Structure 1
Amino acid sequence: MSNRLRPLAPAELDTEQRALYAEITGGPRAAGPRLFALTDEEGCLRGPFNAMLLSPGAGRALQDLGAAIRYRTGLGPRLREIAILVVAQAWDSAFERHAHERVGAAVGLTEDELLALREGRDPGLSDPVERAAWAFTRALTDSAGVLDEPGYEAARGALGERTLFELSTLVGYYSTLALQLRLFEVPD
């Protein structure tokens, strides 16, 4: 896959772009173990983050939403990565898969679970909350967000309304990133 969007070098960024670049590279994504690189060898942002620099106002809001989903929700790390990988599979998003399989492994997803998620199969999750989150996320991605009443009630009963809100926001956020990655043909 080509990269339709030229990587924006740190030296060529304007003031607003530099501020957003600093937020991305110095924020919570940069703390702790780095399981995938945020920048390339020249310091250019990788994945969806380079595109965010095109419109710093919208890019900042989008990256803030992503940080909130990853670091300020009640979603546990395994549950969050399961849902992200379901979205990656639904959109066939190579970068999301590349990045989040590494994160998923680090938070305890097994090779068999990762392979099943990559292939769109049932990962056989034994934890009932993780299983319900997987089923809910699959339902959202398989049906363009339409969930029948029995499916909604089952998800609400197993997960609660807060988790449904947080998971549906995660699905929307990572679907947005997948769309942008596809549009700009960003390689993994």
Structure 2
Amino acid sequence: MRLRSLTKEELNDGQLALYNSIVSGPRSTGPQHFHLMDHTGALTGPFGIMLHSPVLGRPLQELGAAIRYQTSLSDRIRELAILSVAADTDSSFERYAHERIGRAIGMTEEELSGLRERRFTSDEPREAAAYELCEMLNRGQLPLSDDDFGRLSAILGNNVLLELVVLVGYYRTLSQLLHVFAVGPPHAA
């Protein structure tokens, strides 16, 4: 890691407020599929990075919480979208965290392997369309043609299209942070 992990005792007021919002927010409730904190109490993954700049970290974590817990995306579509970004950007932390979540929501090892290898398929039209859109975004196939937009919008609806575009952009940002600051999955992974 290129940034020092910050423990709760080392945080200034702004950092502590961000830390508390992460550890007491929706990420900390329900089943924990990956650890938000390491054995010292420092936040793991992108959350530890966010603490170094609370002015950016707060809105980033709030956007992430909105994407994960407040959108209309089904759990499966949300996780296949996140894992498509993890595969495209080779984000080991996001793969580690979200494959665990994927398993918990019933994704099969075959599906997870397909996402890892960028060959995911689904007989469910919404999942197939969501994955297609994510791959177009991941590969920079922009702007979408009117035909592609019309076809995907007819299957997914404009709200889901908007949510997926934001999700892909957010997780690409997290991946860049994780890569630049050399943050991977916890050693206990």
TM-score normalized by the length of structure 2 = 0.95
Query: Given the alignment of the two structures, is residue 45 of structure 1 paired with residue 43 of structure 2, yes or no?
Result: yes
Count residues in correspondence. Answer: 185
Structure 2 residue aligned with 1:184? 181
Worse overlay, 93-102 or 4-13? 4-13
Shift of 1:146: 3.2
Q: Deviations over 1:138-181 (max 9, x none)?
A: 11101264322222121111111100100000001101000000
What amino acid is the match of 2:30?
G
Q: How much is the aligned-residue C-alpha RMSD, in angstroms?
A: 1.0
TM-score normalized by the length of structure 1 = 0.96
Structure 2 residue aligned with 1:60? 58
Query: Given the alignment of the two structures, is residue 26 of structure 1 paired with residue 24 of structure 2, yes or no?
Result: yes
What amino acid is the match of 2:143?
V
- Distance (whole Å) between structure 2 residues aligned to residue 19 and residue 59 of structure 1: 11
Structure 2 residue aligned with 1:119? 117
Unaligned runs of 5+ in 2: none
- Cα 1:171/1:18, change in 2 over 3 Å: same
What is the identity percentage for the equivalent residue pairs of Structure 1 and Structure 2?
A: 49
- Distance (whole Å) between structure 2 residues aligned to residue 160 and residue 62 of structure 1: 25
Residues 97-176 of structure 1: pairs in structure 2 closer than 5 A? 97-121=95-119, 123-143=120-140, 145-176=142-173
- Distance (whole Å) between structure 1 residues aligned to residue 141 and residue 25 of structure 2: 32
- 3-state SS of paired residue (1:34): coil
Shift of 1:54: 1.2
Shift of 1:65: 0.2
Unaligned runs of 5+ in 1: none
- Distance (whole Å) between structure 2 residues aligned to residue 80 and residue 119 of structure 1: 18
Shift of 1:55: 1.3
Q: Deviations over 1:117-156 (max 9, x none)?
A: 01111x2212111111011111110126432222212111
**CA contact under 8 A between 1:24 and 1:63: conserved in structure 2?**
yes
Structure 2 residue aligned with 1:95? 93
- Distance (whole Å) between structure 2 residues aligned to residue 36 and residue 58 of structure 1: 23
